[in-house]
Structure 1
Amino acid sequence: MKKVYILIIFSLLVNISSAKGKKTKERQDTLRVLAIGNSFSEDAVEQYLWELGQEAGINFIIGNAYRGGWSLSAHWKDARSMNSSTEFRKVTNGKRVNLGFHTLRDIIIDEPWDVVTFQQVSQDAGRQDTYEPGLSLMIGYVKALTVDSVRLGFHQTWAYSQDSEHKGFNNYNRNQFLMYSCITAAVDKAMHFHQGDLSFYIPSGTAIQNARTTMLAKSRPKEKNVNRDLTRDGYHLNYVVGRYIVACTWFEVLTGKSCIGMKSRPKGLIPELATIAQQAAHAAVLSPMSVSPL
């Protein structure tokens, strides 16, 4: 009888240990990512990133605190005044939903986010003097509301197309490479200034600039919008190639896994072009502050 009790207890302990191990594995395989941004974070995280994660065995829970055209300082003003004016877009189990307007606080505490990213509004992304005090204040605000293990990062956005009509292009003498160079320099300074708080950055701008040295800049996958230097309107990424390149860049930075050779790709993008897109993203992660001609 004693032996039977011992076997029962041993069996229960094994089951409990197995359950704990399973729960730990589930936590490790789930990555909760929140982007605080605007339409450029919409281009980056709301499509293709979840699918890349699934192929790699990573369950992304993706949040986008979206307000079109919003800068770092504008987000801080919303946070400080508790305005319910930020759209909360979320991708869970592959389902993309818009949860309506919320305060930034409510969005930040919605999940125990593993990663939170910041970005500057596109026209000011290359103007270092516009980053502060907004970035410092937002970092402090997010740290006060998130778990201790959260990783904070910065999203380096992309330069406009060479023929962009965006008024903000005047800040860079309507020169694409000058805009790109200013963005990388501004992000580099911000990363050094906040090296104790920002642990990584995502070089989407460099990935797009890499791809602009390839046939991708001229290709036209099956989509309604023309390809203007991988944009659909001179500044927002086109729906297929542009968004896929940036999704691959986010995937590599967030997971530490290479995107090269992955089979997940947008409908209408042939494997040969998907491979070039992956190479552009991978090269940017390896050399985030300079263009790598492919």
Structure 2
Amino acid sequence: MKFTPIRYILLICLLLTFSSNGFAVQGRFSVSKHDTLKIFIIGNSFSGNATTYLPQLAKEGGHIIKFGRAELGGCSLKQHWDGVVAAEANADDVKGKMYKGKSMKELLAADKWDIVTIQQYSRLSSSVATYEPYISNLYEFIKKQQPKARIVLHETWAYRRDAKQWGLITEKEEAANDEQMHEKLKANYLTFAGKLHTGIIPTGEAFWIMRNNRSWAYQPVSEAVVKAVVYPAVPPQPYSLNMGYYWLPDKTLKFDPNHANVAGCYLGSLVWYHYLFGGRLKKVKYKPAEVSDEFATQLKKAATSAFKVSGF
């Protein structure tokens, strides 16, 4: 088609019309800023971590979001699917009402969702054998309940470099380290995203980018340093994205190399925000008070770079 001056003018007017109505241009979802993006999350504590600050980021960006959640700590794809099976067999079976007395079917039926996310339990995320048939079953179940919803996989992250255990790669074998855990889980998410024709929210990739940033990566400390710590001090863990060391009220020193801390939750939320709404993250102003301006800048760069990695 030949573009005459008149056609150019009409095209510009059309683009301006979409812009003035607040339609997202760079994000994955073309919803008006005056409409609500409805997100249903099937996951566990890691999905809760990764969306902690998404409401604040969305508010700053002028977006309205609503969450539905089918989350249980440490819940695997198999456990989620077993709950569905129990509820379908007997709607009154407590095994099917695993989400605060509700079944997944009931929670999904509460609204018309724009996006539904699925993820594997982190300990099993690096084991390809643990995904099927549960991920495909969940996909088909969601499509039946919410045929217009877009289903997306949420890639979780490898444990901190000084973890005492890693994700399983077979029924009895653990990954050797954080690198192998990351490589395996990444490959699994890419495999099933390809099989099911879904997108991926690459939170785990952003974590890995930060972990390999020489200037801003957490560096493990020796056991001697840990043993020398006296309450209320904790071993130094600058730039950590995971909880790491912390004290319980009874003054017991605990270690959690798996779950995200404030910085990790912020990084995850940046990735989710960028996936949903696009835009330039470096323009984002909101950050938790615990995260320095300089560190926040690096986290925004990592979140943006995660989408440039092959496969995402």
Both proteins in one fold, TM over 0.5: yes
**Secondary structure class of the residue paired with 1:235:** strand
- Residues 281 and 86 of structure 1: CA distance in aligned 2, closer, same or farther (over 3 Å): farther
Instruction: Check if 1:248 corresponds to 2:260.
Output: no
Instruction: Check if 1:231 corresponds to 2:242.
Output: yes
Work out whether residues 240 and 263 of structure 2, in 8 Å CA contact, stay in contact via their aligned partners in 1.
no
Q: Looking at both structures, which has the greater relative contact order when contacts are Cα pairs under 8 Å and sequence separation is at least 6?
A: 2
- Structure that is richer in helix per residue: 1
Deviates more, 1:260-269 or 1:162-171: 162-171
- Residues 245 and 167 of structure 1: CA distance in aligned 2, closer, same or farther (over 3 Å): closer
TM-score (norm 2): 0.72
Provide the rounded CA distance (Å) in 2 between the counterparts of 1:150 and 1:270. 37
Partner letter of residue 194 of structure 1?
L
Partner letter of residue 152 of structure 1?
I
Q: CA offsets, 1:19-54, max 9 Å, x none?
A: xx99x9867631111110111111112x21011111
Instruction: Check if 1:86 corresponds to 2:98.
Output: yes
Provide the rounded CA distance (Å) in 1 between the counterparts of 2:168 and 2:259. 13
Provide the aligned C-alpha RMSD in A. Answer: 2.7
Q: Look up the match of 2:47.
A: 41
Q: Look up the match of 2:37.
A: 31
Gaps of at least 5 residues in structure 1 are 1-20, 88-99
Partner letter of residue 156 of structure 1?
E
Q: Per-residue deviation at 1:122?
A: 0.6
Provide the rounded CA distance (Å) in 1 between the counterparts of 2:285 and 2:166. 38
Provide the rounded CA distance (Å) in 2 between the counterparts of 1:264 and 1:119. 27
Provide the rounded CA distance (Å) in 2 between the counterparts of 1:225 and 1:115. 40
How many residue pairs were aligned?
248
TM-score (norm 1): 0.77
Percentage of pairs with the same residue? 29
Provide the rounded CA distance (Å) in 2 between the counterparts of 1:183 and 1:28. 37
Gaps of at least 5 residues in structure 2 are 1-20, 23-29, 88-94, 220-233, 244-255
Q: Per-residue deviation at 1:226?
A: 6.6
Structure 1 residues 166-185: aligned runs within 5 Å: 166=165, 168=167, 171-185=173-187
Q: Look up the match of 2:206.
A: 207
Instruction: Check if 1:129 corresponds to 2:152.
Output: no
Provide the rounded CA distance (Å) in 2 between the counterparts of 1:25 and 1:187. 26
